[in-house]
Amino acid sequence: QAQICILMEENRSLTNGVSNLRDEICILEEENSVVFAEAMNLSCLTLIFEQFGAERAMDVRLCSTDLDSLYLREEKLKAQMDLLGKQLLDLQESHKKSQAQICILMEENRSLTNGVSNLRDEICILEEENSVVFAEAMNLSCLTLIFEQFGAERAMDVRLCSTDLDSLYLREEKLKAQMDLLGKQLLDLQESHKKS
């Protein structure tokens, strides 16, 4: 966002610079027309009043020099305006690329957020299953103490249930680790988004 603000500020500055150069060129063109008209008048006066001699001829040469100087200044200003126009186009292109990158980052952000939400839902389901299995394990444990006469078969049921419980605990730990990883990736993406 900060980079975009800088680009937009530079864009506005360049646009103002181009506008000022155009105004200055218009003023120079008006001055050019005035000087040119004066030069034409002096040329006509020189033909009519040759008796004024070399002094008036010098005035004409000085006026012509001023006219050449104005033409040169106008060409330099036009070159500067072309350069500023190119820089403005480059900034606009950079702005478009930044906007496209921001859209991609926002889409990735949404995808990661949805992934974290899905993992949380799955963990809630597993915790509910875990509670049910744990309750069943407790019931089986109590029944084992009460009905030891049922022997090894009932003990095997308890061990199987305990294995399922351990498996669920392990699955829950893996899902929590995945959620932590996705959370870290989401924070990294948001930090990268802020920097851009």
pLDDT value, residue 157: 64
Q: What is the pLDDT of residue 52?
A: 55
pLDDT at 46: 63
Low-confidence residues of the chain, pLDDT below 50?
none
> Is the entire prediction scored with pTM above 0.85?
no
| 57-112 pLDDT tens trace | 566 577 677 767 777 887 887 887 788 778 878 877 877 887 888 778 788 778 77
Measuring CA to CA, how many Å separate 131 from each of 26, 78, 116, 154, 173? 83, 79, 22, 21, 15
What DSSP assignment string belongs to 77-137? HHHHHHHHHHHHHHHHHHHHHHHHHHHHHHHHHHHHHHHHHHHHHHHHHHHHHHHHHHHHH
